[in-house]
Each structure stands twice: as C-alpha cells, then as structure tokens.
Structure 1
Amino acid sequence: MKYTKEELINNIMTSIENKSFVKGTISQLLGDYSFDKIILKPVLIKENYLIQMEKFQNKKAFHENISMENISSILEEILDNFKQFLIITTTEELHIIKSKNSFNCKSKNLVKKEVTLTHNREKNYILNPQTPIPFLIELGVMTKEGHITKEKSNKFRQINRYLEFIEDTLKELQRKKLIKDHITVVDFGCGKSYLTFALYHYLKNIKNMKLNVIGLDLKKDVIDHCNAIAKKLNFENLEFLEGNIKDFNKLQNVDLIFSLHACNNATDYSILKGLEMNAKAILAVPCCQSEFNQKINKTSETGLKTYLSPLTKHGILQERFSSLATDALRSLSLELCGYKTQVMEFIDMEHTPKNILIKSIREDFKKEFYIERKNEYDRYINFLGIEPLLNSLIKTYYKI
C-alpha cells in the first residue's frame, strides 16, 4: 500500500488523537538533520497527553515532549528527513519505506497491545536502587539512605548487568541438573570485588542458596580489605585469597568460574583452571589480548596476510582484529572441550571497550559435533598462521 506524505501524517495523527499510538521508530537519515534516529512514544505528564521524542546523536539521547498542536509539523519534518519508519499502534504494526514520490507501507495485525504512558520508567534492576544494601554501602556505591552515588552509577549498572548473566547461567545449570541448591564459585582476578560481593548477596540473600565463594587476586592490600568487609558483613563461606591463577589449587571441583578483565593470557590460565577443576560453567570478560597481535607480526605469508592484507598493514586495525580473533578462538576451544559457548556484550561500549563476555556451560555433544569443531579450529589456526598459548594449555581436554 502507498501513501502520500499528507495521508501518512493524517493516519499517524488519528492514532495519536484516539490514543491508540504505541510507539514510532524512525531511522535511516536522508536529509540535513541534526539527529540520526528518533523514537516517539506517548507520555502522560501532569494529566497532559504528550508525545515524547527521543532523539539520538553520536550515541547520545536527547528528550523533548511535544504538545498535540505541534505534533503534525514535527511529523512532517521527520518524514522529509528519514527513509525508514516503524509505527506501532494497539492493533497493527506499520513498516514504512520512503520512495521518491510516496511512502510504501506493509501492515501486520497485532494482538491488542497496551499503551504505556509512564514517563521515564526506571529499569527493573535485580538490586533495588532505592533500598539500602549493606555491601553496596560498604563499597561506596550506595549511601546509607539507599541512594546510588552519582560517581558510582555506572558501577551499579555493571553490577546489575553481571547479575543478569549470573541469573541466566544459574537457570541453565539448574535446568540441565548440573547444580541443585548449592553452588561453588571462584572469581579469578577479583580486584576490589564489587562483582564478588554482588554474587554472594544475590545467591545467598535473593536465591537462598547454599554456597562457597572464593575471590583470588595478586594484590595483598586489596585481599585484606575485601576479607575485612566480608567479616564485617558476616558473609560466611566467602573468602578472598592472595595468589596467582596458575598456582591456585584450593578446590578440585567447582560449579562456576568467573574472570573479569584478566589481562592477556591470564584469561587463558583462568580457562585452564576451570577445566582442571571440572567447572560446569566458565564466564570470562577478557582484556588486553596482545598475544595474537605479537605473533601475527612475526608470521610471513598466511591466509590472513594474503587475503586480509588491507587489515594487517595498519597496526590499529590488526590490533583490534587480534582481540576479536583471540576471543573467537577461546569460544571455539571451549566447545572442543565440551561446553556450549555464547559471546555477547557484557555492558554498553559507552562505559568500557572491554565489554565482550564469553559464556560457556557444559554440554553433551555428539561425536560429529567435535569433528566439525576440530576441522573448523584447524582451518582457523592455519589461516591465522600462529600457535596460540591456549592450545598448548588445554589441548589435552579436547574431546577429539
């Protein structure tokens, strides 16, 4: 179906006026306009029905509330400057593409949707940002009154994002009957232990599980500080140890290994320890992956340097590629060891560039799966032309 601009404006205005308009997403900038994406949604502020316009520029969002009398002119301006539109009402979904002289529309009927008029709804965090939580207060993330401090707001979001991954991992481990109501966790490179304390609080006070949690780090002063907080909070079965990942031998079996920002090959040693301790799940957020980049520099003619030479001749591009190539290999290697792996965003790139999470949970695969993965692994290594440290560390754990 085709609409003129005037017909489309009238249709959208009708849905707004009869309060059936749910949401509009506008993208693919065409003209000379200040923003590259816009989201429209109705809001009710002090009994006034308005359209909130969320405008994006360089990944930053700006908000403006539009009164009914000004919406039509705003819509006209938007339709002049963008190509793609998704309009959702309570009964249908309209996909609109702008052509030279008209707007091509495809509609899809929907099960009746509700219109939400709440202004600036708060994210539903696992940890309530309005309730005093002792460990957050001790770590300076929250005031005694139960308010998140301004300087630690990003840390609070990171903690909750981490707990979302823990929640999903926990559900999968229980669904696969790998754990019941008890869990043993080791946090390698725990640092100041924001996430370790959050993990303990979540498992103990929210999930009511029996647990044993250990945090490991090289810095004695940090470990002493964390143990003092754990003692003050009466966090039983939470222990912080000073030491190197390579030398850790306190446990034989664990349920979950977590490694946040272990530098370069420290992530590989975390994976090795997870395998040695028969971990049911391994979560790793790597950083500073320099090994591949250094080894690629020393290679001569390989598939990488032959077919991706525009990439390898620029240092910064090769460095970024090497980081991704490292984590791709880690994910593939863990599959060869009998884990189902996912690679996903840990937290928004806005807060940290070190934001890739490798999530691995033990899985029973058929032999054909391992044959396929081993062939994929061999092709990948031959293309890169390097011998990764991880291979020498964990190859005895490969299933084929």
Structure 2
Amino acid sequence: MSEPLLRVLTRMRGLILDDEMLVRAVGSGRQRGTQPRWRRVELRYVDLKSGRHLQVTAYDEAQAHTSNHPVGDRARTALDDLLDQPFGNWHVETTTETHQLRVTKKGEAVVHSRARDAEQQVDRDHDRDKGRLLAEDDPVFRVLGLSDHEGRMKPSRQGKYRQVEEFLRILDASIGDALAKGHLRTPTPEEPLQIVDLGCGNAYLTFVTERYLTHVRGLPVHLTGIDQREQSRDHNQRLASELGVDATFISSSIGDARPGVRPDVVLALHACDTASDDALARAVEWETPLVLAAPCCHHDIAAQFRKQPTPAPYAMLTRHGILRERFADTLTDALRASLLRLEGYRVDVMQFVGSQHTPRNTLLRGVRTGGPASGGAARREYDELVATWGVQPRLGELLEQR
C-alpha cells in the first residue's frame, strides 16, 4: 500500500539518524522525470578519534566521494540534503530490521519492511575496505574458493573479485532503477524476485548475486541456474546447500531450458559465441523485465566475414585478423542491441569491467518498456546494416523462428 513520500522519508530519517541502530542506508535509482546529483549514496556510522561520524560515500559515473559528518547538526544537514535528492529507492538496514522504500510513478512511497532473524552486528571501523559492496571476508567468497580460510582474497583471484564488484554495481543500479520506474515488480517473501542465470557454469556471479540482493539489499530472491553440463548442476547444488541458498539448478541447453518460473531478471554472463544469442532470445520469449548479458567469443559473424568480400570502402576493417575480430565483436553486439530495441527493450551497451581484467568486457543491459522502437526507422537501419555486410545474425534468426 502506498503512502505519502514525505511521511515515509521522515520515518526513514529517524532510523538513519539513530547512530546506535543503523547498519547502513543506500539511496539509488531515480524518480520519474528527475536526475539525482549522485548515481548512488551509501551511509553508515564510523568511529573516528574525534568521535562518531556519519560517513557518506557518494558515487558519480566515475568514482566514489567519501565525507564524514559529526553526529548532530552536521550529520542531520548532510542527511537532509541527500533525502532531498530524487532517488527512486532507499534501502535502510538497522540492527533489527530492513526497510526497502520504492517511489512510484505517482510520487508516492511503497515500503517493504521485515525483521531480522538475528540482531545484526555493526561495523564502525573507519579503516575497513571502502567502496566494496561485498567485503572480501564474506562467507560466499570462501565457499566459492576465492578467499582463504581467514577471509583474505587469494592473489590469483583478485581479477575475479574485481569483476564481481563491477557486476554488482551494475546490477544494483539496474534493479534500483527498474524498481523505481515500475518496470520491475517489488518482491515479497511470498513472491520473491525470480532470477534465472543462463549458462551459469560454476555460478560464481549467481551466488554472489543472491548474497548481495538478500543480505545487503534485503530483497527476497530465488535463483535458477541453467547449464548444459550435469557436473555444473551437481557442483552448484552442493554449494547452494552449503550456503543455505534458495536456488534451483537445471542441466539443460539454453534453448531447451524450462525453468518453471517466469523470470524477473535474466543473467547471461560470458556465454560463449551464439549461446549469448540463445539467452537473449529466451529472455525476449519470456518477456523478461530486466536482462544483463555479457557476451563472449564472437565467432559467428567473424566466420561469415571470411566467406564473402568486404563491401566497399571498408576492406581495411577486415583485412587484418585482429581488426576483423574486433570489428566482428562490435557489429555483433550492435545488431543484438538493435534487435532488442525492436522487441520493446531500452538497451544500454556499457563496459562490464576494465580491459586489464578481461578482453570480453562489454555488457548489454535491456529493460523491457513494452513498446517497440518508434516508427520504422529502427527496422530500416537494422535491415540496411545486415544487407550491407551480408551477415545473418543468430539472434535475428532465433527471433524470426519465434
């Protein structure tokens, strides 16, 4: 049930100003037709030599900005400035409860609150690792084999940890924005958010996604991981039992997968070559509200380039193998994004993680808005691009079959 936004923000303000009870608070997303100064803000209390302070970490598109405000008038002023920002979501976590506030299209507030099973301990150490969405000593990393028994990230796994963090930042912003705009329903314990990971492999990001959304964001979720290998299914089911995670793992090809639920979020992270197309086609078939896909190994279009002459005047783009491969990657993902737009998705193409960590660092984010691209211009643009290069994108074939 919706409530006046000001009334709910006043209630959240009281919880955030309680420096004994607050664990953390997060503002993210944006209200309809607005743009907050910050992409995301995180608040918690820290104990400094000069006393307790409200620490605010504000994220823009490039970096994090941290400031500390003494408890009292300065902390209240800093908080009020942030509450005045038109964030679409507030997550407030205390030692005994979690509260999830979403602003509706009408500018009202919907709040989901739940009590904690056990009282949460508060970390007010100013020197803890800043900016991490999941600390490296989180139990999920030990079970996944990324950290040692003392909770320290293994040197050989630092790159994977960086990928995890970057993915969680994109996931957090994407879910927050989709909730704020009503593209994604607000989950409840009775009807959790259904997340389906297609081609999940050993499910590193699957389990990390569950851990972050449930323990940090306080969102009820259920995971379904799909991978063709039975070994992966059995391995992941054992890890789920060890972590106490509500998850289902299925051994199946992506094209034949029957998850038994209608997904709210589809993940397809580093599915090889046309497996990414299979995943995107299934997401479209299911009319999934939010899709996050990080394609890998773009062999299909590159192979088609080798079978026919390059159209003039673009011969230099495919004459050298390394340039042909890079251009095939770009063209493949551009065509995928175009097809998703034609199917009623708003699509962003972004960098998943720095190229120093992996050369396959592009991520496609699709949010289903329900309306196809306006007019016939988008379709003509796609048809002309395909005709010019004489290629047949696998995703286009799959969508036509559907």
Question: TM-score normalized by structure 2?
Answer: 0.64
Report the equivalent of 2:171.
Answer: 166
Q: Name stretches of at least 5 consecutive residues in structure 1 with no aligned partner.
A: 1-119
Report the equivalent of 2:318.
Answer: 312
User: What is the letter of the counterpart of residue 293 of structure 1?
Assistant: A
Report the equivalent of 1:197.
Answer: 207
Report the equivalent of 2:354.
Answer: 348
Q: 1:328: Cα distance to partner?
A: 0.6
Q: Take 1:366 and 1:227, find their aligned partners in 2: how far apart are those partners? A: 38
Please tell me whether the aligned partners of residues 343 and 372 of structure 2 are also in contact (alpha carbons under 8 angstroms): no
Please tell me whether the aligned partners of residues 252 and 276 of structure 1 are also in contact (alpha carbons under 8 angstroms): no
1:272 paired residue among 281, 284, 296? 281
Structure 2 matches for 1:33-72, cutoff 5 A? none
2:258 paired residue among 205, 229, 249? 249
Report the equivalent of 1:124.
Answer: 131
- Given the superposition, is the C-alpha separation of residues 142 and 395 from structure 1 closer, same or farther in structure 2, using an over 3 Å criterion? same
- Given the superposition, is the C-alpha separation of residues 316 and 209 from structure 1 closer, same or farther in structure 2, using an over 3 Å criterion? same
- Given the superposition, is the C-alpha separation of residues 229 and 252 from structure 1 closer, same or farther in structure 2, using an over 3 Å criterion? closer
Q: 1:261: Cα distance to partner?
A: 1.1
2:193 is the alignment partner of 1:183: yes
Structure 2 matches for 1:360-379, cutoff 5 A? 360-365=366-371, 369-379=374-384
- Given the superposition, is the C-alpha separation of residues 242 and 396 from structure 1 closer, same or farther in structure 2, using an over 3 Å criterion? closer
Report the equivalent of 2:231.
Answer: 221
Q: 1:162: Cα distance to partner?
A: 1.0
Report the equivalent of 2:99.
Answer: none
Q: Take 1:311 and 1:170, find their aligned partners in 2: how far apart are those partners? A: 37
Q: 1:123: Cα distance to partner?
A: 4.7
User: What is the letter of the counterpart of residue 292 of structure 2?
Assistant: L
User: What is the letter of the counterpart of residue 369 of structure 2?
Assistant: E
Report the equivalent of 1:281.
Answer: 290
Please tell me whether the aligned partners of residues 251 and 277 of structure 1 are also in contact (alpha carbons under 8 angstroms): no
Please tell me whether the aligned partners of residues 336 and 370 of structure 1 are also in contact (alpha carbons under 8 angstroms): no
Q: Between the two proteins, what is the percent identity of the paired residues?
A: 30
Please tell me whether the aligned partners of residues 292 and 365 of structure 2 are also in contact (alpha carbons under 8 angstroms): yes
- Given the superposition, is the C-alpha separation of residues 335 and 176 from structure 1 closer, same or farther in structure 2, using an over 3 Å criterion? same
Q: 1:222: Cα distance to partner?
A: 2.3
Q: 1:206: Cα distance to partner?
A: 1.4
User: What is the letter of the counterpart of residue 338 of structure 1?
Assistant: G
Report the equivalent of 1:108.
Answer: none
Q: 1:316: Cα distance to partner?
A: 2.5
Please tell me whether the aligned partners of residues 345 and 366 of structure 2 are also in contact (alpha carbons under 8 angstroms): yes
Q: 1:364: Cα distance to partner?
A: 4.2
Q: 1:122: Cα distance to partner?
A: 5.2
User: What is the letter of the counterpart of residue 395 of structure 2?
Assistant: L
User: What is the letter of the counterpart of residue 248 of structure 1?
Assistant: A
> Counterpart of 2:197 in 1: which secondary structure?
strand
- Given the superposition, is the C-alpha separation of residues 137 and 310 from structure 1 closer, same or farther in structure 2, using an over 3 Å criterion? same
Q: Write the deviation string for residues 357-378 of structure 1: whole angstroms up to 9, x where unpaired.
A: 01111124476x2422112111
Q: Write the deviation string for residues 95-118 of structure 1: whole angstroms up to 9, x where unpaired.
A: xxxxxxxxxxxxxxxxxxxxxxxx
Please tell me whether the aligned partners of residues 345 and 372 of structure 2 are also in contact (alpha carbons under 8 angstroms): no
Q: 1:224: Cα distance to partner?
A: 1.0
Q: Take 1:366 and 1:190, find their aligned partners in 2: how far apart are those partners? A: 29
2:338 is the alignment partner of 1:332: yes
Structure having the higher Rg: 1
Q: Take 1:316 and 1:121, find their aligned partners in 2: how far apart are those partners? A: 43
> Counterpart of 1:359 in 2: which secondary structure?
strand
Aligned residue pairs total: 271
Report the equivalent of 2:39.
Answer: none
Question: TM-score normalized by structure 1?
Answer: 0.64
Please tell me whether the aligned partners of residues 187 and 257 of structure 1 are also in contact (alpha carbons under 8 angstroms): yes
Please tell me whether the aligned partners of residues 166 and 353 of structure 2 are also in contact (alpha carbons under 8 angstroms): yes
> Counterpart of 1:262 in 2: which secondary structure?
strand
User: What is the letter of the counterpart of residue 189 of structure 1?
Assistant: G
Report the equivalent of 2:240.
Answer: 230
User: What is the letter of the counterpart of residue 173 of structure 1?
Assistant: A
Q: 1:312: Cα distance to partner?
A: 2.0
